[in-house]
Amino acid sequence: GGTTDSDWFKPGHWVGGTLPAPDVNVKISNPTVPNDPVLSTNAFNLGTGSVTVDAGTLTINNGGTLSGGGSSVGEFAAGIATVTGKSSTWNTTALNVGFQDTGTLTIADGGMVSNTARAFIGYQGYPGAFPNDPQAFFGDGTVTVTGTDSTWANSADLDVGYLADGT
C-alpha cells in the first residue's frame, strides 16, 4: 500500500520503488502505511512467489486477479484478505489462514479463491516441539464465503483447527 492511495500497480508503493517481480515473495506488513494494497480490474501474476498478509489488509475487487505460489493470511501478525465482486479472483497453491496468528479471509459477492495444495484454517506453528509447547504460536483462522456466486475452490486437503482455532 501507499501513502496517498492503495493502488497495487503504483511502483512507489513497493520496497525499492518497483512492482514485485515474478517468483518474488510479497509481504503486506506495514501498519504505519495508511493505505493497504487493493488489486482492482487488472491481473497480477507472481509466478511461484508467495503472498503473506501480516499486520495489514489485502483487497482484491472489481475483477482483479492475483495469482502466485503459497499464500498466508495472519502468519506472524494479524492479517485480513478480502476477495469481493464478480470475477475477482485469488489463485494460489497452498493457503494458510490464521497461520500462527489471527487471519481472516472473506470471499464475497461473486469473488473466488482457488488453491491447489493443502489449506489450513487455524494452525499452530512452533519453534520447538508441539502440541503443548509453551513456546508455540497459536493461529486463529476464519474463512467466510458469502453472497451469490462466491466460491472457494479447494482442490487439496483442508485442515480446520490444526492444533488451533479454525472456523
pLDDT tens for 22-62 read: 899 999 987 777 788 999 989 999 999 999 999 889 999 99
Among 93, 111, 104, residue whose Cα is nearest residue 56: 104
Q: Which of 28-37, 72-81, 84-93 has the lowest mean pLDDT?
A: 28-37
Q: How far apart are alpha carbons 136 and 54 in whole angstroms?
A: 18
**Three-state DSSP state, 84:** strand
pLDDT for residue 117: 96
For 114, list phi and psi in degrees, rounded to 5: -130, 140
More confident residue, 122 or 132: 122
Q: What is the pTM of this model?
A: 0.91
Q: Per-residue pLDDT for 129 more than 50?
A: no
